[in-house]
Structure 1
């Protein structure tokens, strides 16, 4: 299979994008329909990060912050590992999406599930309990006492026959063998597609069987459904359901217009999660667990989460019957550093900001909201005597240093003595690795808010 690397949101002419898709018009139509590819007056662009498989071609769409393909295999592998960890944290196990017809977001995810689950939990097992009389296994005293006659001597019961039990793993169980076949097929497909290394997996050869050895697909599905009706183990149920789904859709990928995808159309959400983890977001911490400059004031409930301090809008009908709205504005990250209240917002923008140029910046709404976050916490900040507030946007960059580019201000809000918003460029590769390694930035060493300065990233 041919592997192609494409930058997210890069513009292509119709001719060029069809060349990438091997002139598959129907594939392009489907990608446009589901916003994987978008069209504007400037051309076509992949609004996606991840892997797209179309017949014998694999399109690897890498994030827009990566400027070139110099180290693209390593960079893209890291991105895929980030997506995998993010998906796992969301426990995304639903492989079905009826609205997507024969475009499948699920097949590659399903194959990865089978392999990763195998490496973690092994093969589907069917443990049988065997009962014997006077066997070598553990004595089943309940059955022995209830089923056998004892000889009484000196007022003590003696049993000539003992009921014993032991357990065996049925290596020739139908579903175990089916599981081995599916894992082997998935491994072979991913190896042929040269995707095993990308997903940090090794080849698995467990079976030399063909699908026909298990009967026709309808028979296999019927057996799986019957087994599901009598199985109560949660993990085994998940495996049986996955095998059923995999075989139900097995023939779909042979369709010449079939697409399978692994990735996201919303990488900005992943960037937010990465930054929240690395910078130690405290929004969902209870107030009693925060390291405040002074003791928590009694007017605040210690069991209340920090995020709950942000008020929701109230709709008041004719000065009575106030109705509280469901939503409100929520910052990405709030943390505490050196008795300062720190508000950070992860911005997945391709910002170009220098003395001579400004391009790709967030709009007015993002700026005003960042000021309003400080206002939302104003009473809490003043009551607990924080020494100051720091406000910042966090942008991904490919550069190897954390850089404070300056700040953005809006006079009508800045004049209210609100903190202006620092513009911080983060080396995404390093920040990604901290996320993957469950590390956090030592904020005390970073000096993120030093204007127009550079400081090398450190992790703890």
Structure 2
């Protein structure tokens, strides 16, 4: 199976895309449907980060900030780990079948799910309760008293036979064996297409059975549906649904028009989440739980969140009636350091600048909003004794050090006393690893 590394948003010619997809319009249309590809009239760009499996071709699409492919395998492995963690934190896993004929959108995600779930939770198990006479298990006093005669001695009952109970894990349960078969098959298939190592997974071989050993596919799916109706354990329900969905779609792996994706077309959302976790975002903390320079002012309720302070627009009619709009400003993250109120915005831009040129930067709207975040919190900042405000954009960089490059200024707003927006480059390798390890970076390293 052929494997290619593709850079996110890099222009690729029609001829190159043909070498990947052939002339298969159906697969190309599917990529458009999932917002994985853009076309500007002459070149294609992959608006996606992750793995796309097309027929016998694997496309490994890496983030736009990676400068070269010198260490691409390790870089891409780390990227996949970040996507995987984000999906897990946000329960980003679908069970529904795709309606698009011959397209299995989440099949790769399912195969990875089965293996990782096995690492974490083990195999599907069915517990049987066994009763026996005078066994070594726990005594079932209800059955013992109701089913036997007691010998009374010194006003105490004695039973010649005790009903005892114990539990066993049924190793030959149909669904357990089916689960073992699916895990083994997923492991083999991922290994065959070279993705097992890429996703940092070890091979799993639990079964030597074939699917035919369980009956025809329709029969298996019916049994899974019936089991779902009587199984109320949440995790077991999840496994049964996943097995049903996988088996109903697995044949698409051998179809010519085969496509499956693992990743995201909105990696900027993941970059925001990385920055929020690594710098300890406080937007959704209750005001009563925040360590403020001064005691919480009486104008604010302790159970309100910091994000709720920002006022929403009002639509006011001539008769005095007004309506509040649903949306308002929403910063990416806010934190405190040395009694400074710090407003940071994660920007997934591949910004480039030097003495002669500047490109890939955020637009005017982003700059304006960043100033206005400070304005929205000005009253709160003043009432609670913060000594200053720091404002910044957080950009990813392939370099190894945090680098405060300077600032961006819009004079009509900076003249109002608002802080200029500092331009901070963050090393993605360190940021990703901190995110994966649930660690924090000290704010002082930003040199605000």
TM-score (norm 1): 0.95
Name the counterpart of 2:89: 89
1:448 is aligned to 2:447: yes
The question of whether the paired residues in 1 share the 8 Å contact of 2:98 and 2:104 is answered with no
Name the counterpart of 1:400: 400
Please list the CA deviations of residues 229-280 of structure 1 after superposition, one character each: whole Å capped at 9, or x if unmatched. 1112111111111111111112222221120000000000000000011111
Tell me the CA shift for residue 95 of structure 1.
3.3
Name the counterpart of 1:273: 273
The question of whether the paired residues in 1 share the 8 Å contact of 2:402 and 2:446 is answered with no
In structure 1, C-alpha distance between the alignment counterparts of 2:255 and 2:416, rounded to whole Å: 62
In structure 2, C-alpha distance between the alignment counterparts of 1:304 and 1:315, rounded to whole Å: 24
In structure 2, C-alpha distance between the alignment counterparts of 1:347 and 1:100, rounded to whole Å: 34
In structure 2, C-alpha distance between the alignment counterparts of 1:448 and 1:207, rounded to whole Å: 56
1:222 is aligned to 2:206: no
Name the counterpart of 1:192: 192
In structure 2, C-alpha distance between the alignment counterparts of 1:447 and 1:123, rounded to whole Å: 46
In structure 1, C-alpha distance between the alignment counterparts of 2:144 and 2:92, rounded to whole Å: 48
The question of whether the paired residues in 1 share the 8 Å contact of 2:403 and 2:446 is answered with no
The question of whether the paired residues in 1 share the 8 Å contact of 2:50 and 2:62 is answered with yes
Secondary structure of the corresponding residue to residue 238 of structure 1: helix
Tell me the CA shift for residue 283 of structure 1.
0.3
Where in structure 2 are the equivalents of 1:262-411 lying within 5 Å? 262-411=262-411
In structure 2, C-alpha distance between the alignment counterparts of 1:99 and 1:322, rounded to whole Å: 44
The question of whether the paired residues in 2 share the 8 Å contact of 1:96 and 1:106 is answered with no
Where in structure 2 are the equivalents of 1:412-427 lying within 5 Å? 412-427=412-427
In structure 1, C-alpha distance between the alignment counterparts of 2:176 and 2:380, rounded to whole Å: 58
In structure 2, C-alpha distance between the alignment counterparts of 1:447 and 1:227, rounded to whole Å: 55
In structure 2, C-alpha distance between the alignment counterparts of 1:418 and 1:191, rounded to whole Å: 55
The question of whether the paired residues in 1 share the 8 Å contact of 2:82 and 2:436 is answered with yes
In structure 1, C-alpha distance between the alignment counterparts of 2:245 and 2:67, rounded to whole Å: 39
In structure 1, C-alpha distance between the alignment counterparts of 2:81 and 2:250, rounded to whole Å: 26
Tell me the CA shift for residue 102 of structure 1.
3.5
Q: Per the alignment, do residues 349 and 251 of structure 1 end up closer, same or farther by CA in structure 2, a change over 3 Å counting?
A: same
Name the counterpart of 1:439: 439
Name the counterpart of 1:71: 71
In structure 2, C-alpha distance between the alignment counterparts of 1:316 and 1:99, rounded to whole Å: 45
Name the counterpart of 1:241: 241
Aligned length: 448
Tell me the CA shift for residue 49 of structure 1.
0.2
Report the aligned-residue RMSD.
1.3
Name the counterpart of 1:44: 44
In structure 1, C-alpha distance between the alignment counterparts of 2:311 and 2:359, rounded to whole Å: 33
In structure 2, C-alpha distance between the alignment counterparts of 1:53 and 1:292, rounded to whole Å: 50
Tell me the CA shift for residue 99 of structure 1.
5.1
In structure 2, C-alpha distance between the alignment counterparts of 1:131 and 1:48, rounded to whole Å: 57
In structure 1, C-alpha distance between the alignment counterparts of 2:25 and 2:310, rounded to whole Å: 49
Q: Which runs of 5+ in 1 are unaligned?
A: 450-460
TM-score (norm 2): 0.97
Tell me the CA shift for residue 33 of structure 1.
3.4
In structure 1, C-alpha distance between the alignment counterparts of 2:330 and 2:417, rounded to whole Å: 21
Tell me the CA shift for residue 42 of structure 1.
5.0
Please list the CA deviations of residues 2-39 of structure 1 after superposition, one character each: whole Å capped at 9, or x if unmatched. 11100000101111111122443332232123321110
Tell me the CA shift for residue 411 of structure 1.
1.1
User: Which is worse superposed, 383-392 or 26-35?
Assistant: 26-35
In structure 2, C-alpha distance between the alignment counterparts of 1:447 and 1:106, rounded to whole Å: 39
Tell me the CA shift for residue 322 of structure 1.
1.5
In structure 2, C-alpha distance between the alignment counterparts of 1:99 and 1:232, rounded to whole Å: 28
Name the counterpart of 2:111: 111
Q: Per the alignment, do residues 100 and 275 of structure 1 end up closer, same or farther by CA in structure 2, a change over 3 Å counting?
A: farther
The question of whether the paired residues in 1 share the 8 Å contact of 2:126 and 2:170 is answered with yes
In structure 2, C-alpha distance between the alignment counterparts of 1:35 and 1:134, rounded to whole Å: 66
1:209 is aligned to 2:209: yes
User: Which is worse superposed, 408-417 or 247-256?
Assistant: 247-256
The question of whether the paired residues in 1 share the 8 Å contact of 2:275 and 2:346 is answered with yes
Q: Which runs of 5+ in 2 are unaligned?
A: none
In structure 1, C-alpha distance between the alignment counterparts of 2:319 and 2:354, rounded to whole Å: 50
Secondary structure of the corresponding residue to residue 336 of structure 1: strand
Q: Per the alignment, do residues 200 and 423 of structure 1 end up closer, same or farther by CA in structure 2, a change over 3 Å counting?
A: same
User: Which is worse superposed, 407-416 or 96-105?
Assistant: 96-105
In structure 2, C-alpha distance between the alignment counterparts of 1:7 and 1:370, rounded to whole Å: 29
